[in-house]
Structure 1
Amino acid sequence: MLPKERNKSTLMKWCKLLLASKTGSLGIGIVLLVALTALFAPALAPHDAREVNLAAASIPPAWIDGGQSEHFLGTDRLGRDLLSRVIYGSQISLLVGISSVLVAGLIGIPIGLISGYYGGWIDSIFMRIVDANIAIPVILIALFILGFLNPSLFMFILVVGIATWYTYARVVRSEVLSLKEREYVKAAKSIGVKDYMIFLRHLLPNVTSSIIVISTLSVATTIMVESSLSFLGLGPSAITWGALLSDGREYLATSWWIATFPGIAITITVLGIILLGDWLRDVLDPQSQASTRS
């Protein structure tokens, strides 16, 4: 089979599996919707997200106000259009979620490969560091670091990535412990193949499916961490879902929409990513498939 035909066949197989799963289809539909919203935010936002209009402060959503308002989701306490702010907030949430996961993977995957392959004192040192990270909540680590540093977007991504790398290290290490005992790995070592080539050719390709699942689910976790820190005033921007939620918490009794719609956006996005991650786990993990069938 030619490479193009093989790729087309694989793509068709994945499409069929996705369409056969209601949760997978719903998850990827939500993720694509949020991603497209973030990508085309300038075109989709009906107003300037930062424009202050005190004369239009705390206007209820248009569909509650009898259609007389031009603000579909209403306005906040400074008269800023809430729909536009929610749309722009998706950019920060996805950017932080994806970028932090990449940082965590770049740190955790090599550590997991080295720790599982070499074992001994190297494994002991890395795993004790992992245990120390697990003992301290992610949000507490981020609060401590960001409290002393300027919570810029770059620093925020770096801190959250550093605080969550251990998940990759643990999973990759556990799989490498099993893979290094396989005959093809032992054969490669016996003929003098360099360790880094064994990592690239034999170990890393065999843990890729687990890395994909972890990365997908970690994006949801990171978005929750970003929203929590933004809610506490340590977010990377004033226009994030967590910051919008924080702005509206004092006005729930009179202007409930200010906090409600950012909260709904967070919930739907995280739910979509989790559904997609669960589907990927079922498809890529043979043990999960076996347990599901039984």
Structure 2
Amino acid sequence: MSPLKELIFKRIAFGALTLAVISVLIFVGVELLPGDLAEAVLGQNATPETVAAFRKELKLDLPAHERYLAWLSDFVRGDFGNSLSNGRPIAGLIGWRFANSLFLAATAAAVAVPLSILLGILAALYRNSLFDRTISMVTLTMISFPEFFIAYILIAILSAELGLFPSISNINDQMPLWEKLYAVFLPCATLTMVVTAHMMRQTRASIINILGAPFIEMAKLKGLKRLRVVVVHAFPNALSPVINVVALNLAYLVVGVVIVEVVFVYPGLGQLLVDSVSKRDIPVVQAAGLIFATTYVLLNLLADVLAIISNPRLRNPK
């Protein structure tokens, strides 16, 4: 097996092991919740016979390890069970919600990724200038603020004061694309402001690090313009850390939308997760949590693989 394939195989194996550990943690966390789930769902007026039948339906009468293996095998097959709050199949509830979360994340990524790379290149090109210091100060400020604070500021200014965009981002399948984009402008802007800062600063730092390399000095001695040196020579050689931080921020966009979805009442998987926690709908909480974890691990795995492919030193560690 080639070194590249061996590295990728190790990353995949480690990702699978990580998912297994996360699934155990999710299951154990639910098991440690106080009280009896059947009694909490059915209420205090339920008869012992009803509680016993409900416990059998949820497989609560089985040992914990058997319930875990049954839950995990059903999850792998795509059978998430039924919601305790409405009795509907969880797969149907999650499918539409998860698609909405992916739409919001993809919209934010389509704006944030090119914007952050462009700002990072310009900051490196005009290093230590007023533009560089201003953009660094602004991005550092964005990193320091939590998502909900930025979201409420945008709502107060763009929705409450100016009335330009709706404060509640409600979408459905019947809406055309431009209406969906208009509805998700504020949550998309919130996510963009948060992740752009991370990606822009990493792009700037990576390019500045490459600018001290000997081949960059040679390019300058040849009389090439600084813009050409940065864009054509420095940026391609700084791609490995840039790709890594972009992939990690894409993972954040998918998984970290929970707070943003709650603030804007966006019908995504994060909002469903919060609603299910308040209703103690444990099967939905378990399924949503493991889907978020799987998405995050897969995108982290993608970041590792792309970093290996784009970096010769990682492709040939010896």
The match for 2:30 is: none
Aligned: 1:106 with 2:114: yes
User: What TM-score does the superposition give when structure 1 sets the normalisation length?
Assistant: 0.67
**What is the aligned counterpart of 1:133 among 131, 142, 147?**
142
**1:111-157 deviation per Cα after TM superposition (whole angstroms, max 9, x unaligned):** 22222232232322222222222221234213432463423234433
Aligned: 1:234 with 2:259: no
**Displacement after TM superposition at 1:89 (Å):** 2.6
Counterpart AA for 1:18:
I
Contiguous gaps of at least 5 residues in structure 2: 21-53, 60-78, 160-164, 170-182
Q: Aligned pair count?
A: 243
Comparing 12-21 and 135-144, the one that deviates more: 12-21
**Displacement after TM superposition at 1:160 (Å):** 0.9
Contact 1:19 1:25 in 2 (8 A): no
**Displacement after TM superposition at 1:202 (Å):** 0.6
Aligned: 1:269 with 2:278: no
Contact 1:245 1:260 in 2 (8 A): no
The 1-side partners of 2:311 and 2:55 are apart by: 45
**Displacement after TM superposition at 1:280 (Å):** 4.7
- Structure 2 counterpart SS, 1:120: coil
Structure number with greater CO (CA < 8 Å, separation at least 6) is 2
Superposition pairs for residues 45-124 of structure 1, below 5 Å? 64=58, 73-75=81-83, 77-121=85-129, 122-124=131-133
Contact 1:102 1:161 in 2 (8 A): no
Comparing 202-211 and 81-90, the one that deviates more: 81-90
Superposition pairs for residues 241-252 of structure 1, below 5 Å? 241-252=269-280
Counterpart AA for 2:141:
A
Counterpart AA for 1:256:
I
The 1-side partners of 2:238 and 2:274 are apart by: 40
The match for 1:179 is: 210
Contact 2:80 2:287 in 1 (8 A): no
CA RMSD, 1 decimal: 3.8
Aligned: 1:26 with 2:20: no
- Structure 2 counterpart SS, 1:181: coil
**Displacement after TM superposition at 1:165 (Å):** 0.7
Change (3 A) 1:244 1:154: same
The 2-side partners of 1:197 and 1:287 are apart by: 25
Q: Which runs of 4+ in 1 moved over 4 A?
A: 12-16, 60-63, 278-290
Identity of aligned residues (%): 17
The 2-side partners of 1:272 and 1:135 are apart by: 27
Aligned: 1:257 with 2:283: yes
The match for 2:229 is: 198
Contact 2:147 2:260 in 1 (8 A): no
Aligned: 1:161 with 2:192: yes
**Displacement after TM superposition at 1:196 (Å):** 3.5
The 1-side partners of 2:240 and 2:55 are apart by: 44
Could you say which structure has the larger radius of gyration? 2
Counterpart AA for 1:75:
S
